[in-house]
Structure 1
Amino acid sequence: MLEVAVIENAAAAEISLDPLRSRLLAELVEPGSASTLAARVGIPRQKVNYHLRELEKHGLVELVEERRKGNFTERVLRATAASYVISPDALSAVQPDPARAPDQLSARWLLALAARLVRDVGRLITGSRKAGKPVATFALDGEIRFASATERAAFARELAAAVAGLISKYHDETTAGGRAHRVLVAVHPSVRPVLDPPDNNTDKES
């Protein structure tokens, strides 16, 4: 099972966004059958089977084993990944284009860049799985607290200059066999994690 999989097909994206099918994918992080899932989600086994066939058809779940039980064979399935990201390729006609309105200070341009990152890395992962080779990537993730907007602006200027200097130092147009790499650096306000709503059905002490 993959840790993260990128959904590039529009039909697969539509399937994954259905609330019930999304729930089934979450349940199938651990292998399960239609019978065990029916008990967990509270719907008939036949209906679960239908949804599992749709998920399997689009490569979102896979067969782990088949068990003979009396007159029928029980199919045990598992999600192909622990979590999924939908690529802009799934909405190809309306996917964002960073080249349309480049603006270093625009949050929407940053979002378009992030969408392109998901699309491109998703394509690389798909290609690498077919070729049986790993993808050469590198990422940094950190957090910084600025004392003021002035400090933030100064940091952005210094960061831009440092990255431009590194690109100038290592960029090579002439060497045969060289391969171009995309460099993306982003700065945005941190977002607090969304907490789960309280369970109103939990018994309370009187």
Structure 2
Amino acid sequence: MTDAQPDARNAMDFVDQAAAARVALSPLRRQLLARLTEPMSAAGLGEALDLPRQQVRHHLKVLEAAGLIVEVGARRKRGFTETLYLARARSLLIDPMLVGEHAPAAVSAQDQHSAEHLVRTAARLVHEVGRMRGEAEREGSRLLTVTVEADVGFASPAEYDAFTQQLAQAVADIAKAYPAEGARRRYRLTAAGHPAVAALTEPKPLN
């Protein structure tokens, strides 16, 4: 988990610890996190979700221990002092490399057109950038990245093949002018393409 200050308005937190991921993926705790985009107490959450306050308090303590929520104050209500909690972020990104093989696999020419290779590469990208972002935040610095996106269309498979060849050549030509060897700041450039999304089936909720 990063050590950024809670910002439920626009922050995203990267979860790279298996224990914290297990806590966050519990259906009830996901409901609590969804409501904690503003300060709430165990009593308020219990009323909103129709759950006993003691049960909610237990799960809040679990979320707090995992670093997913923080105490942000207290208030007097009906003669009692209520502790207020806030989610560290509006959304959580689970490290895709928490489960599975971490070592990069050898890439063949055919792999460059493989959906499996694209997904594996994207997972490693999220894993590496997510962790570097957390380290930068802890150091109080900024992680400098670049993202370039464009929509393209093809009338035939031949056009698609021509585009991929031109793209690969263009990247290779530009890279020659900025050799990584010996450079003070080394970067990895990943160019990827996939069919534009029209509509996807929503995944089934976790039980």
Determine which of 9, 17, 20 is the counterpart of 1:12.
20
2 CA distance for matches of 1:7 and 1:64?
Answer: 21
Whether contact under 8 Å (1:96, 1:115) holds in the other structure is no
Whether contact under 8 Å (2:97, 2:123) holds in the other structure is no
Structure 1 position 186, deviation (Å): 0.7
Gaps of 5+ in 2: 1-6, 203-207
Change (3 A) 1:174 1:96: closer
Change (3 A) 1:174 1:10: closer
Q: Alignment length, in residue pairs?
A: 192
* SS across alignment from 2:113: coil
* SS across alignment from 2:92: strand
Partner of 2:187: 181
Structure 1 position 90, deviation (Å): 2.7
1 CA distance for matches of 2:106 and 2:79?
Answer: 60
* SS across alignment from 1:98: coil
The answer to which structure, 1 or 2, has the higher relative contact order (CA under 8 A, 6+ apart) is 2
1:23-34 equivalent positions in 2, closer than 5 A: 23-34=31-42
Structure 1 position 195, deviation (Å): 7.9
Q: Structure 1 length normalisation: TM-score?
A: 0.85
Whether contact under 8 Å (1:7, 1:90) holds in the other structure is no
Partner of 2:205: none
Structure 1 position 193, deviation (Å): 4.6
Q: Structure 2 length normalisation: TM-score?
A: 0.84
* SS across alignment from 2:112: coil
Structure 1 position 39, deviation (Å): 1.9
Q: Does residue 55 of the first structure (1) align with residue 67 of the second (2)?
A: no
1 CA distance for matches of 2:200 and 2:116?
Answer: 22
Structure 1 position 52, deviation (Å): 1.0
What percent identity do the matched residue pairs reach? Answer: 39
Change (3 A) 1:146 1:3: farther
Gaps of 5+ in 1: 197-206
Partner of 1:190: 196
Q: In angstroms, what is the RMSD of aligned CA positions? A: 2.0
Structure 1 position 75, deviation (Å): 1.1
Structure 1 position 30, deviation (Å): 1.9
Letter in 1 for 2:191: V
